[in-house]
Structure 1
């Protein structure tokens, strides 16, 4: 979510503008509540808290791919 030139929310907004059907998963060491509050994300944005294991990542990716 924190990058040298751009934040995660800004990167997401730019990518979504270029491709509204793009599916993303936000990942952060901060809690989901803190991220949603700080970045103004809506609750339905897919999110994984770090650290997470391969099975958690696989489940979240499958969940996101299966949604419309």
Structure 2
């Protein structure tokens, strides 16, 4: 594997690891929000955070589509 291919592969693996971590946290957050266990004041903040996480996941998936893994 030449140096350029190795760099693309390493970048793809790093992005894939980050996607897995963010997706896991996003699923935990949405499960918590849908469970009804959170206070009324924190629902708005956590909902904004979940939207931001979803947008970040979309960005990471777009980057991942341009790499090799």
Same fold (TM over 0.5): no
Q: Please give the TM-score of this superposition, normalised by the length of structure 2.
A: 0.28
In terms of fraction of residues, the more strand-rich structure is 1
More relative contact order in 1 or in 2 (CA 8 Å, sep 6+)?
2
Q: Which has the larger radius of gyration?
A: 2
Q: Please give the TM-score of this superposition, normalised by the length of structure 1.
A: 0.28
